[in-house]
């Protein structure tokens, strides 16, 4: 009898690992869909741009941890820059750190414009991070907010 029961028991099925690169591509594609002609960019310290240029170059080479380290250096100089926070969130996804990605995306959303492509990327990142962490309810709430990121057309008379 115990042999029969042992044959019926199985190890719990582990959820498949998320596709990190695919997630980042989808997040960026959604952001491009919500891009608008209304964008504001603050003047930056040239050192920030240097770190971001290095991060982008390392990301293209597939060196995601090194890219994230460069983005973190930029954040030390400009810790409240929503676009850098979101970029770091996307790099955190590439390294598999979904918890940090969600925290960075939320911080970027809180500091950001709440419209346009950055807003959509923030909320999609947050929704995906929450999903990976098993919080389906909050993930759905974040995902539902994405539609509000659209910039309404200008009314002309």
How do residues 71-90 score in pLDDT, each as one tens digit? Answer: 999 999 999 999 999 999 99
Domains belonging to the chain, first-starting first, are 19-36+44-149 (1.25.40.10)
Averaged in consecutive runs of 10 residues, what is the pLDDT profile of the chain (157 residues)? 49 66 95 75 85 98 98 97 97 98 98 93 97 96 95 71
- pLDDT number for residue 42: 67
pTM: 0.85
Maximum separation of any 2 CA atoms in the chain, in Å: 82
**138 burial via Cβ count (<10 Å: 0-12, 13-18, 19+):** middle
- pLDDT number for residue 5: 46
- pLDDT number for residue 39: 60
- pLDDT number for residue 13: 46
């Amino acid at each position: 009898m115990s042999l029969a029961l042992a044959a019926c028991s199985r190890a719990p099925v582990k959820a498949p690992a998320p596709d990190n690169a695919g997630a980042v591509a989808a997040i960026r594609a959604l952001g491009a869909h919500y891009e608008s002609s209304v964008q504001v960019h603050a003047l930056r310290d040239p050192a920030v741009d240097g770190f971001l240029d290095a991060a982008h170059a390392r990301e293209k080479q597939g060196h995601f941890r090194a890219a994230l380290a460069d983005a973190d250096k930029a954040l030390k100089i400009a810790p409240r820059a929503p676009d850098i926070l979101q970029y770091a969130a996307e790099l955190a996804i590439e390294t598999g750190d979904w918890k940090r990605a969600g925290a960075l995306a939320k911080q970027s959303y809180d500091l950001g414009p709440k419209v346009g492509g950055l807003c959509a990327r923030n909320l999609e990142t947050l929704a995906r991070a929450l999903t990976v962490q098993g919080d389906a309810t909050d993930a759905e709430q974040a995902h539902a907010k994405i539609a509000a990121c659209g910039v309404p057309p200008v009314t002309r008379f």
